Amino acid sequence: MDSDLAYSAIRIATPLIYAALGGLLTYQAGILNIALDGFMIVAAFAAIAVAYATESLMLGVMAGIASAMVLAALLAVFSLRLRANIFIAGIAVTFLAYGLTALLLKGVLGQEGVFSSDRIPTFAPLRIPVIADLPIVGPSLSGHTALVYLAYLLVPVVAFSLYRTRWGLRVRVVGEAQDAASAAGINIFAIKFETMLLSGLFCGLAGAYLSLGYVSLFAKQMTNERGLIALAAIFFANGNPYWTAAVALLFGAATALSVRLPQVTGLAPQLLQLIPYVVTLLALVAVGVRKTRARNRHGAWRFEL
Amino acid sequence: MSTEALAARRRRASTLMDGLIRPVLGPILAVLIAMAVGAILLAAVGENPIHVYATLAEGGLVGWPNLSVSLQLTTPLIFTGLAVALSFRAGLWNIGAEGQMLMGALAAGILGYAVSLPAALHIPLCVAAAFLGGALWAAVPALLRVCLSVNELVVCLMMNPIALLLTGYVSARVLKAPGPTNKLPDILDSAILPNFSLFSQLNAGIFIALLACGVITLVNSATVRGFEWKILGVNPRFAHYAGINVGRNALAVFMVSGGIAGLAGAEQVLGVYKAYYDNFSPGYGFDGIAVAMLAKNNPTGVLFAAFLLGAMNAGSAVLQMTMGVSKYLVQVLQFIIVLVLAAQFSFSWLRAGARRRAASPQGEA
Amino acid sequence: MDAGGDVIVMNQITKRFDDVVAVHDASLTVRAGEIHALVGENGAGKTTLMNILYGLLPRDSGDIRLRGEPVNFVGPAQAIAAGIGMVHQHFKLAPSFTVAENIILGAEPRKSLDRIDRAKAERDTAELGRRFGLEVDPRASVSALPVGLRQRVEILKALYRDAGIMILDEPTAVLTPQETRELFATMRRLAEHGRSIIFITHKLREVLAVSDRISVMRHGRILSTEPNQGVTAHHLASLMVGRSVLLRVHKTKARPTEDKLLSVESLTAIGDRDETAVADVSFFVRGAEIVGLAGVQGNGQDELVQCIAGMRRPVSGRIGICGAVSEHANPRSRRASGLAYIPADREHVGLSLSSQVWENLTVGRLPEFSRGVALMANAARRRADELIRQFDIRGARESTPAASLSGGNQQKVQLARELTRQVRVVIAEQPSRGVDIGAIEAIHRVLVEMRESGCAVFVVSADIDEIFALSDRILVMYRGRIVADLIADETDVEAVGRLMGGLHEQAEAAVEFESAARTGHVH
CATH superfamily of C260-518: P-loop containing nucleotide triphosphate hydrolases (3.40.50.300)
Please tell me which chains touch B, using 3 or more CB pairs under 8 Å as the contact test. Answer: A, C
> B243 touching C, CB under 8 A?
yes
Closest-CA residue of chain A to B239: A303
Q: Examine residue A85 and state whether it is found in any structural domain, yes or no.
A: yes
- Letter for the amino acid at C423? V
Residue B365 CA to residue C15 CA, distance in Å, equals: 10
CB contact under 8 A, B237 and C349: yes
| CB count in 10 Å sphere of residue B198 | 9
Model pLDDT for residues B184-206, shown as the tens digit of each residue: 999 999 999 999 888 899 999 99
Residue A252 CA to residue A261 CA, distance in Å, equals: 14
Strand partners of residue C481? C478
Q: Examine residue A260 and state whether it is found in any structural domain, yes or no.
A: no
Judge whether C509 and C481 are in contact, CB under 8 Å: no
The structural domains of chain B, ordered by start, are 50-351 (1.10.3470)
Model pLDDT for residues A159-169, shown as the tens digit of each residue: 999 999 999 99
Give chain A positions within 8 Å (CB) of B40.
Answer: none
Residue A171 CA to residue A164 CA, distance in Å, equals: 12
Closest-CA residue of chain B to C355: B234
- Residue in C105, C120, C304 to test binding to A, most A beta-carbons within 10 Å: C105
Cα–Cα distance list, A143 to A7, A8, A254 (Å): 9, 11, 21
Closest-CA residue of chain A to C121: A166
Residue C409 CA to residue C400 CA, distance in Å, equals: 12
User: Least CB-CB distance to C355: which of B221, B234, B243?
Assistant: B234
Give chain C positions within 8 Å (CB) of B227.
Answer: 359, 362, 366, 375, 377
pLDDT for residue C523 = 38
State what percent of residues in chain B have pLDDT above 70: 88
pLDDT for residue B363 = 25
- Letter for the amino acid at C437? I
CB contact under 8 A, A177 and C113: no
pLDDT of residue C508 exceeding 60? no
pLDDT for residue C452 = 92
pLDDT for residue B351 = 44
Mean pLDDT, chain A, as a whole number? 90
> C82 touching A, CB under 8 A?
no
Cα–Cα distance list, B21 to B13, B16, B292, B360, C234 (Å): 11, 7, 18, 25, 56
Please tell me which chains touch C, using 3 or more CB pairs under 8 Å as the contact test. Answer: A, B
- Letter for the amino acid at C155? I
**C6-241 against C260-518: fold identical:** yes
pLDDT of residue C242 exceeding 80? no
Q: Is the ipTM of this complex over 0.90?
A: no
Judge whether C326 and C319 are in contact, CB under 8 Å: yes
Cα–Cα distance list, B297 to B84, B91, B160, B305, C489 (Å): 8, 11, 22, 11, 58
Q: Examine residue A17 and state whether it is found in any structural domain, yes or no.
A: yes
Residue B362: pLDDT band (50, 70, 90) is: very low
Judge whether B289 and A91 are in contact, CB under 8 Å: yes
| CB count in 10 Å sphere of residue B357 | 11
Q: How far is B219 from chain A (nearest CA, A)?
A: 24
Closest-CA residue of chain B to C405: B361
Residue B16: pLDDT band (50, 70, 90) is: low
pLDDT for residue A67 = 97
Judge whether A296 and B149 are in contact, CB under 8 Å: no
Residue A2: pLDDT band (50, 70, 90) is: low
Reported in sequence order, the residue ranges of A201-280 that DSSP labels E, i.e. its strands, are 217-219
Q: Give Cβ neighbours of residue A258 (< 8 Å, ≥ 6 apart).
A: A272, A273, A275, A276
Domain containing residue A90: 2-223
Q: State residue B23 phi and psi, 5-degree precision.
A: -60, -30
User: Least CB-CB distance to A177: which of C93, C311, C315?
Assistant: C93
Pairing of strands C276-286, C260-270: antiparallel
Give the number of domains in chain A.
1
Classified as helix, coil or strand, C512 is helix
Residue C327 CA to residue B215 CA, distance in Å, equals: 41
- Letter for the amino acid at B132? L
Residue C504: pLDDT band (50, 70, 90) is: low
Model pLDDT for residues B228-283, shown as the tens digit of each residue: 999 999 999 999 999 999 999 999 999 999 999 999 999 999 999 999 999 999 99
Residue B7: pLDDT band (50, 70, 90) is: low
| Polymer length of chain B | 365
pLDDT of residue C59 exceeding 80? yes
Give every strand in the sheet of C276-286, ordered side by side: C276-286, C260-270, C316-321, C324-326
Cα–Cα distance list, B311 to A163, B73, B172, C331 (Å): 53, 7, 32, 49
Q: How far is C409 from chain B (nearest CA, A)?
A: 9
Chain A neighbours among B 16-75 (CB < 8 Å)?
41, 44-46
Give chain B positions within 8 Å (CB) of A271.
Answer: 165, 169
- Letter for the amino acid at A73? A
Residue C66 CA to residue C83 CA, distance in Å, equals: 10
Residue C425 CA to residue C260 CA, distance in Å, equals: 10
Q: Examine residue A47 and state whether it is found in any structural domain, yes or no.
A: yes
Judge whether B232 and B91 are in contact, CB under 8 Å: yes
Residue B101 CA to residue B267 CA, distance in Å, equals: 10
Pairing of strands C196-201, C35-39: parallel
Residue C212 CA to residue C227 CA, distance in Å, equals: 6
Residue A149 CA to residue A140 CA, distance in Å, equals: 12
Question: Is the torsion defined by CA of C140, C143, C146, C152 positive or negative?
Answer: positive
Give every strand in the sheet of C213-218, ordered side by side: C84-87, C165-169, C196-201, C35-39, C213-218, C221-227
Q: How far is A168 from chain C (nearest CA, A)?
A: 9
Closest-CA residue of chain A to C277: A298
Cα–Cα distance list, A126 to A2, A60, A253 (Å): 21, 19, 21
| CB count in 10 Å sphere of residue B298 | 18
User: Least CB-CB distance to B235: which of C352, C405, C406?
Assistant: C352
Q: Examine residue A186 and state whether it is found in any structural domain, yes or no.
A: yes
Residue A272 CA to residue A276 CA, distance in Å, equals: 8
Interval B75-98 mean pLDDT:
96
- Classify residue C56 by its DSSP letter: S
Residue A143 CA to residue A14 CA, distance in Å, equals: 14
Question: Which segment of B209-223, C48-62, C350-364, C491-505 scores lowest on mean pLDDT?
Answer: C491-505
Distance from CA of residue C322 to its chain's centroid? Answer: 30
Provide the b/e sequence for A47-79 (b: ≥16 CB within 10 Å): bbbbbbeeeebeebbbbbbbbbbebbebbbebb
Most confident of A191-200, C195-204, C497-506: A191-200
pLDDT for residue C1 = 39
Domains of chain C, by residue range, sit at 6-241, 260-518
Model pLDDT for residues A107-155, shown as the tens digit of each residue: 788 887 888 888 888 888 888 888 788 877 788 888 888 999 999 999 9
> C409 touching B, CB under 8 A?
yes
Residue C296 CA to residue C460 CA, distance in Å, equals: 10
In the A/B pair of chains, how many CB contacts fall below 8 A?
Answer: 144
pLDDT for residue B11 = 62
CB contact under 8 A, B362 and C351: no
Q: How far is B42 from chain C (nearest CA, A)?
A: 42
CB contact under 8 A, A297 and C157: no
Residue B361: pLDDT band (50, 70, 90) is: very low
Q: Examine residue A150 and state whether it is found in any structural domain, yes or no.
A: yes
Mapping DSSP onto H, E and C, the string for C305-350 reads HHHHHCCECCCEEEEEECCEEECCCCHHHHHHCCEEEECCCHHHHH
Q: Could you tell me which residue, C112 or C341, shows the higher pLDDT? A: C341
User: Least CB-CB distance to C92: which of A170, A180, A187?
Assistant: A180
Largest CA distance in chain B: 79
Provide the b/e sequence for C427-459 (b: ≥16 CB within 10 Å): bbbbbbbbbbbbbbbbbbebbbebbeeebbbbb
pLDDT for residue B15 = 64
Cα–Cα distance list, C447 to C315, C451, C469 (Å): 31, 6, 11
| CB count in 10 Å sphere of residue C21 | 17
Closest-CA residue of chain B to C437: B364
Question: Which segment of A191-195, B347-351, C19-23, C296-300 scores lowest on mean pLDDT?
Answer: B347-351
pLDDT for residue A151 = 95
Q: Examine residue A126 and state whether it is found in any structural domain, yes or no.
A: yes
- Classify residue C471 by its DSSP letter: -
Interval C6-23 mean pLDDT:
85
Q: Examine residue A155 and state whether it is found in any structural domain, yes or no.
A: yes
Model pLDDT for residues C394-404, shown as the tens digit of each residue: 878 888 889 88
Give chain B positions within 8 Å (CB) of A228.
Answer: 154, 157-158
> Considering the domain C6-241 in this protein, what is its CATH number?
3.40.50.300
